[in-house]
Structure 1
Amino acid sequence: MGLFQAALPALVADIERLVRTESPSADLAAVANSAEAVAALGAEHLGTEPELLVLEGRSHLRWRLGDGPRRVLLLGHHDTVWPLGSLATHPFEVRDGVLRGPGCFDMKAGLVMAFHALAAAGVPDGVTLLVTGDEELGSPSSRELIESEAAGCDAALVLEAAADGGALKTARKGVSLYEVRVHGRAAHAGLEPERGVNATVESAHQILAVAALADAEAGTTVTPTVLAAGTTGNTVADTGRFTADVRVRDAAEQARVDTAIRALRPVVEGASIDVAGGPNRPPLSHDASAALYRRARHLADRLGIGPLTAAAVGGASDGNFTAGIGTPTLDGLGAVGGGAHADHEHVLVAELPGRTALLAALIDDVAAAEPQHGHNARERRTAQPTKTTRTTRTTRTTRTTQTTQTTQTTQTTATGGSPR
């Protein structure tokens, strides 16, 4: 740990360098510029340039260290939720032992920790560092890359920030995302409202139906979020839409909610419904992280920075994907602090040396151990979930389903009565 204590000024300077390179996920040019900055910093520490992988216009970086079989995947991202110009309102600063700046906690500090840890470990053979550029969007272009790199590895170590109090993240909920689109018929709200089919009223019915799918006992949250309907204040709304965010602890609950949302039926006579979206990330279960967490606790005690704690969290990460294909996964190995995505985002500077030492020890421990899972690589690749976007539209009397490799479609139209 003394090595990283001495390197603390360099750790802070490197974090500043990345934080000052803004990288909002939706700005492809900014993410590309950030990828250049991350690549340059990584090359300085690792002595080798990464591969630049541009998928669907999004910039990802991959370092495959050494020539041996892939044993360990270090997984991070360099995109953030902060728009360009955020440095003007949330400047980089270090005051009273607290480092602040957009994206410092989530998760540019984690990337810097990885570079220092790998350099200290002698750039170990069989380790891959993958830094993606679209995690905050749900990893639409990088999911298959992540799963492919994780397949066959003995461990995926995720550089996301720690949970409260520095806890490692040993379980994450799975995520499903939906958009429910409602179709009605416009009419003058004063002259002949009875001739319209009110999409606003239908949206209200559907929002209540979707929210009712939550199950607090099972840890399932179903949260309607964005809502829009209608065009003008004196017109019966002919369209409406809302989105829903679903978080679940296990795959059975994810399937239950998905089936129920696709079975929604309109209430207002003449209305119809489209449901788009579906499961985005599978759950990361305690089973996927238990063995790695035990190793991390032992190493922390040996380094004098224990005891470590663990937490199950509702937020998802790319670790959900690695766990979903069967790769042992430990998350929350990045910075200690708080305020991800919020005005008070921060990193506790004093925690950086110890956490970087733990990361270096864990990389070395897994890379040096007897291979455990490489023989399963082929089976894991076969078992990878397919990335799909599904749209459901259902009629009350007829159900027509059209399926391609990426789309499933079903429509529902109401002829009166209550939802089934």
Structure 2
Amino acid sequence: MTRLEAIRLAAQERAALMVDRLRELVARESPPESPVELAACADLLEEWGTAVLGRPAQRILLDGLPHLLWEAEDQAVLLLGHYDTVWPAGTHDDWPFTLNSNRATGPGVADMKAGIVQMLTALELLGDTSRVGLLLTCDEETGSPASRPLIEEQAARSGAVLVGEPSTEEGALKVARKGGSMYRITVHGRAAHAGVEPHRGVNASVEAAYHVLAVREFAAEGTSVTPTLFTSGTMTNVVPETAVFCVDVRAWTREELDRVDGLIRGLTTRLPGATLSFGGGINRYPLQHSVSGHLFELAQHAAKEMGLTPVDGVSAPGASDANFTGGLGVPTLCGLGGVGGGSHARDEWVDVSQMPDRAALLAGLVESVLDPPQRN
């Protein structure tokens, strides 16, 4: 039996423990921007991670929220994930962790608590974790505003970053991800009585309407530009003084995000007296195949050596923290978490029968990074 085959067998022996851990972790709710619940979830993860790695975690408070880092001195590999979910506190009360055959459901079960359980199991399967770091953040679902510098700092001192976000429903890894931008555009007009003196006002709603229609034309093949939230006005008999609208942009290349950024910031007013102000901008540049390709090849090799079903790679329209690390040029592979779907929806699910093999695949990939296989 080869070393990688032994890893797979050891992972399969942990199948029941992995389900128990997933059940406990899903029950430990971790809603966005909720210090009390996030701290309680961090307590559990800190206990598990410290036991697995044999070294204490650094609990790093950023904007009052706890991020967990187990840093390695000579960090060849960084395992990266997040334990916050999109679900508000109390969701587990009416939608608890449920296991039906091999299909588990519950808030955050796929995105990405199954991935965290698999990462911890993979670390248990490794003979030596002294060169492997682990970072679990708690603000990914809100765009990683505080943790981004920490993520980039740890990525920059790592040889490779492996991200435990969920795979596709078919089990494919994420070898590329779209980048994303978010804008908040405020239109400043002038209030007036809508019935008596509308001509004295500058209607912010009308001005905003021009731009909501205009930004849609900035889209291109593979690039989406989507107006989302829109608010305006205060009373039905008042010419709106202020209007605010948000725009979501997704693209496969840096150049496209830069192009749309220039067009949005170049918007000019149509009504005399109106002004515009801009918030937001480019949040994540794309994760491109050029930084994931070699790691994907190593994952395919590890899967073959273990006797696993061959793994595929896909380009994913959504972004993750892998975009930050890949944007630095650090070799990055995403989608190494649970095989499931329905993220951010009430039908979120993960296939627990595949969790042991996925943990084994991750462990095998880490070993392949640490000790690359010889090419014939």
Q: State the TM-score bracket (shorter-chain normalisation).
A: over 0.9
Q: Which amino acid aligns with 2:202?
A: V
1:200 partner SS: helix
Q: Which amino acid aligns with 1:285?
A: Q
2:160 corresponds in structure 1 to 155
C-alpha distance in 2 between matches for 1:299 and 1:123: 18
Q: How do 1:98-177 residues align onto structure 2 when only pairs under 5 Å count?
A: 98-177=103-182
1:351 corresponds in structure 2 to 354
Contact 1:124/1:364 (<8 A) preserved: no
Query: 1:153 deviation in Å?
Result: 2.1
- 2:314 matches 1:311: yes
- 2:79 matches 1:74: yes
1:262 corresponds in structure 2 to 265
C-alpha distance in 1 between matches for 2:321 and 2:134: 13
Q: Which ranges in structure 1 are unaligned for 5 or more consecutive residues?
A: 371-420
1:225 corresponds in structure 2 to 228
Which is further off, 37-46 or 93-102? 37-46
C-alpha distance in 2 between matches for 1:9 and 1:46: 21
Contact 1:297/1:306 (<8 A) preserved: no
Q: Which amino acid aligns with 1:195?
A: R
2:253 corresponds in structure 1 to 250
- 2:293 matches 1:290: yes
Give TM-score scaled by structure 2 length: 0.95
Q: Indicate which of 39, 43, 56 corresponds to 1:36.
A: 43
Contact 1:72/1:153 (<8 A) preserved: yes
Contact 1:127/1:367 (<8 A) preserved: no
1:52 partner SS: strand
2:170 partner SS: helix
Which is further off, 118-127 or 162-171? 118-127
Contact 1:229/1:240 (<8 A) preserved: yes
C-alpha distance in 2 between matches for 1:71 and 1:64: 11
1:131 partner SS: strand
C-alpha distance in 2 between matches for 1:74 and 1:295: 16
Contact 2:33/2:65 (<8 A) preserved: no
Give TM-score scaled by structure 1 length: 0.85
What is the Cα-based RMSD across aligned positions, in Å? 1.3
1:46 corresponds in structure 2 to 53
C-alpha distance in 1 between matches for 2:43 and 2:157: 29
Q: Indicate which of 362, 366, 373 corresponds to 1:363.
A: 366
- 2:340 matches 1:337: yes
Contact 1:102/1:345 (<8 A) preserved: yes
Q: Indicate which of 2, 13, 20 corresponds to 2:27.
A: 20
Q: Deviations over 1:358-404 (max 9, x none)?
A: 0010111112239xxxxxxxxxxxxxxxxxxxxxxxxxxxxxxxxxx
C-alpha distance in 2 between matches for 1:264 and 1:123: 55
2:201 corresponds in structure 1 to 196
Query: 1:123 deviation in Å?
Result: 4.2
C-alpha distance in 2 between matches for 1:28 and 1:213: 39
Query: 1:203 deviation in Å?
Result: 1.0
1:258 partner SS: helix
1:178 partner SS: strand
Contact 1:152/1:327 (<8 A) preserved: no
Contact 1:124/1:367 (<8 A) preserved: no
Q: Which amino acid aligns with 2:178?
A: K
C-alpha distance in 2 between matches for 1:136 and 1:123: 32
Query: 1:159 deviation in Å?
Result: 0.5
Q: Indicate which of 44, 51, 69 corresponds to 1:62.
A: 69
- Number of residue pairs matched by the alignment: 366
C-alpha distance in 2 between matches for 1:285 and 1:145: 21
C-alpha distance in 2 between matches for 1:14 and 1:124: 21
Contact 1:170/1:330 (<8 A) preserved: yes
2:66 partner SS: strand
C-alpha distance in 2 between matches for 1:49 and 1:123: 16
**Identity across matched positions, percent:** 46
Query: 1:186 deviation in Å?
Result: 1.1
C-alpha distance in 1 between matches for 2:178 and 2:200: 45
C-alpha distance in 1 between matches for 2:335 and 2:202: 49
Query: 1:43 deviation in Å?
Result: 2.4
1:291 partner SS: helix
Q: Which amino acid aligns with 2:107?
A: P
2:71 partner SS: strand
C-alpha distance in 2 between matches for 1:89 and 1:358: 34
1:4 corresponds in structure 2 to 11
1:415 corresponds in structure 2 to none
Query: 1:30 deviation in Å?
Result: 1.7
1:355 partner SS: helix
C-alpha distance in 1 between matches for 2:157 and 2:12: 34
Structure 1 residue runs of 4 or more that deviate by more than 3 Å after TM superposition? none
1:33 partner SS: helix
Q: Which amino acid aligns with 2:301?
A: H
Query: 1:263 deviation in Å?
Result: 0.4
Q: Deviations over 1:91-150 (max 9, x none)?
A: 111012111110110001111111111111034221100101111111111111111111
C-alpha distance in 2 between matches for 1:188 and 1:123: 73
C-alpha distance in 1 between matches for 2:186 and 2:65: 29
